[in-house]
Amino acid sequence: MTPLEPPEPAVAEGAVAAVVVLAAGQGTRMRSSTPKVLHPLGGRSMLGHVLAAAEPLGAGTTIVVVGAGRAAVEAHLAAIAPGAVPVPQEEQRGSGHAAALALDAVPELDGTVLVVNGDAPLLRPETIRALVEEHVRAGNALTVLTAEVSDPTGLGRIVRDAGGGVRAIVEERDATPTQRQIREINAGVYVGDAGRLRDALGRVGADNEQGELYLTDVLGLLVGDGVPVGGALADDPDDVLGCNDRRELAARRRTLNDRVLDRLMRDGVTVVDPQTTWVDVTVTVEADAVLEPGTQLKGRTSVATGAVIGPDTTLVDTAVDEGAGVLRSHCLGAVIGPEATVGPFSYLRPGTRLSRGTKVGAFVETKNVEIGEGSKVPHLSYVGDATIGRGANVGAATVFVNYDGIAKHHTTVGDHVRIGSDTMLVAPVTVGDGAYTAAGSVITSDVPPGAIAVARAPQRNVGGWVRRRRPGTASAEAAEAAEKRDATPGADGPDLLPRTTTSRES
Ligand code: UD1
Ligand code: CA
């Protein structure tokens, strides 16, 4: 093996024949109309995190037991893991019942099976791998993932014998006061032999405080059968934390975020304030990017080296290229080119593509627009359904009028165009290369290259109007004072305008 080759994975792909995720539970404590496993954190649903952690096993079969909120969970599954097979559990009769239904759905399946609770969003692939390795090493029929936690309230306790061998899992509600003192808990992640599991699940009873069929009882039954059973302690107790209510959801989200930020900082990203910076697990950020306070990076967002994001910026599915800056802005599905600058206070919507060195300044909204190299939209504009060439400038308060009430239309602005402030570009319309539009114009037909389009009412000054129509007001007094001053020879001030209607334009 050359040093460059990646290390041989200790668990060969396919060592685990099937992954079973238990996701049918009500999640009553969430008090939500959304099924518990669909609650999002760090860029995936709880279920999505569990499936991602099991993914590297390369199991041929993935089964997800669905019940509560079944239609929604199945739809989500089809979107994120189309290869996974949903197995319905009509009535939630316990985790043992759910696991039995899953194995019944694949009667021909044998070999090793991973069974995992759907509400363990912090589980990492390396933890699952270590569990499978231990299972294989010990030659067990069943190996359960355990953890030492400071507060085991509500969790199943691992009962070991004097020799340290795992004897049983006892749920807190059924535990004796002595058993409740145990701080080693069941993580809800199990690897076992499919045949042994099937057999033991068939023997599980409902003789417990909840009257449910407990998956956890399988362990004691197999111990009774005299087959080897073990427990593998997780390296990081955070990995095994479940999520049963909104407070736990917030805590898991925080832990997940801390892990992501730790990784980014180790990789050379500056995170100015980790407390207010939120980055999804699906995001990539290159070394020497800077994340200012209040930054949120979501979905398929990527940030290249030298880019500065924030403060107070949210990027969703947005690509930011080298050296670009995004300040106090909200961007969805945008592509921000190298050295481009955005903000403060701008809103980039899907289909926005900014080329190198472009500027989208303050209070600008863009949608479905391509802006060419070095072009600028510095202030207070709406740019929708447009192509803008290179080196163009779009004056303040310009609106690309793209919607006629029924359909959207396209505007094309050429290279080095100067769009005057407060221009309405009524699409479909084209402004040719090097053309100008006069400030305040409503452009409804194409402007040829190099022309200036002036499309506004000529100015009319009605002299003396204020004196006549607003007598006695401060404005009238100011006007009179100005007239007197200007009529006095040698006094400072502009020439008196003639009291006639004038127009600046011919
Ligand atoms: C379970 C374990 C407990 C462990 C804890 C770890 C049991 C009996 N207890 O407790 O030992 O410490 O997880 O977080 O398993 N489910 C179904 N169908 C059902 C019931 C549950 O699919 O009929 C699913 C749930 O969606 C969940 C998982 O099984 O993903 C566990 O059920 P839950 O009610 O959350 O069990 P806990 O009380 O958390
Ligand atoms: Ca749980």
Q: What pLDDT, in 10s, does the model give residues 357-392?
A: 999 999 999 999 999 999 999 999 999 999 999 999
Residue 456 has pLDDT above 50, yes or no: yes
Considering only 193-202, 245-254, 349-358, 484-493, which range has the smallest mean pLDDT? 484-493
Cβ atoms < 10 Å from Cβ of 458: 10
Burial class (CB in 10 A: 0-12, 13-18, 19+), 402: buried
Query: What is the Å distance from ligand 2's center to 65 Cα?
Result: 14
**DSSP letter (8 states) at residue 494:** P
**How confident is the model at residue 506, as a pLDDT?**
40
**How confident is the model at residue 2, as a pLDDT?**
42
Q: Which ligand is nearest to the Cα of residue 155, counting in written order? A: 1
List, by residue range, all CATH 3.90.550.10 domains of the chain.
Answer: 18-240
List, by residue range, all CATH 2.160.10.10 domains of the chain.
Answer: 269-453
In this predicted model, what pLDDT tens digit does every residue of 322-358 receive, in sequence order? 999 999 999 999 999 999 999 999 999 999 999 999 9
Contact 157, 186 (CB under 8 A): yes
Q: Which atom of ligand 1 is nearest to the CA of 217?
A: 8
Using a pLDDT cut of 70, give the percent of the chain over it: 94
Hey, is 495 helix, strand or coil?
coil
Kindly state the average pLDDT of the residues 246-254.
Answer: 97
Query: What is the Å distance from ligand 1's center to 130 Cα?
Result: 22
Residue located via tokens 């007001």: 473
Q: How big, in percent rounded to 5, are the helix, strand and coil portions of the chain? A: 25, 30, 45
Give the pLDDT band (50/70/90) at residue 488.
confident
Give the pLDDT band (50/70/90) at residue 412.
very high
Q: Which ligand is nearest to the Cα of residue 182, counting in written order? A: 1
Give the pLDDT band (50/70/90) at residue 13.
confident
Q: Is 409 known to be catalytic?
A: no
Give the pLDDT band (50/70/90) at residue 3.
very low
Cβ atoms < 10 Å from Cβ of 103: 21
Give the pLDDT band (50/70/90) at residue 426.
very high
* Ligand 1 neighbour 65 (Cβ under 6 A): yes
**Hey, which residues does 331 pair with through a beta bridge?**
315, 348
**How confident is the model at residue 491, as a pLDDT?**
54
The catalytic residue among 39, 49, 76, 379 is 379
Give start and end residues of each alpha helix (H) in 13-140.
Answer: 46-54, 70-80, 95-104, 125-138
* Ligand 1 neighbour 95 (Cβ under 6 A): yes
Kindly state the average pLDDT of the residues 130-139.
Answer: 96
Single-letter residue type at 241:
L
Nearest C-alpha to atom 25 of ligand 1 is from which residue? 25
* Ligand 1 neighbour 155 (Cβ under 6 A): yes
Contact 285, 279 (CB under 8 A): yes
Helices then strands (H, E): number in the chain? 10, 39
Q: Which atom of ligand 1 is nearest to the CA of 171?
A: 11
Query: What is the Å distance from ligand 2's center to 230 Cα?
Result: 21
**Can you tell me the distance from the alpha carbon of 297 to that of 284, in angstroms, rounded to the nearest whole number?**
9
Beta-carbon contacts of 174 under 8 Å, excluding residues fewer than 6 positions away, are 208, 209
CATH topology of domain 18-240: Spore Coat Polysaccharide Biosynthesis Protein SpsA; Chain A (3.90.550)
Kindly state the average pLDDT of the residues 288-311.
Answer: 98
Single-letter residue type at 201:
L
**Can you tell me the distance from the alpha carbon of 265 to that of 269, in angstroms, rounded to the nearest whole number?**
5
Query: What is the Å distance from ligand 2's center to 501 Cα?
Result: 81
CATH class belonging to 269-453: mainly beta
Single-letter residue type at 51:
L
**How confident is the model at residue 60, as a pLDDT?**
94
Contact 396, 376 (CB under 8 A): no
Q: Which pair of structure tokens corresponds to residue 132?
A: 């499978």
Residue 490 has pLDDT above 70, yes or no: no
Residue 494 has pLDDT above 90, yes or no: no
Kindly state the average pLDDT of the residues 391-408.
Answer: 97
Q: What is the mean pLDDT of the chain?
A: 94
Residue located via tokens 């990539």: 284
**Can you tell me the distance from the alpha carbon of 57 to that of 171, in angstroms, rounded to the nearest whole number?**
29
Residue 435 has pLDDT above 70, yes or no: yes
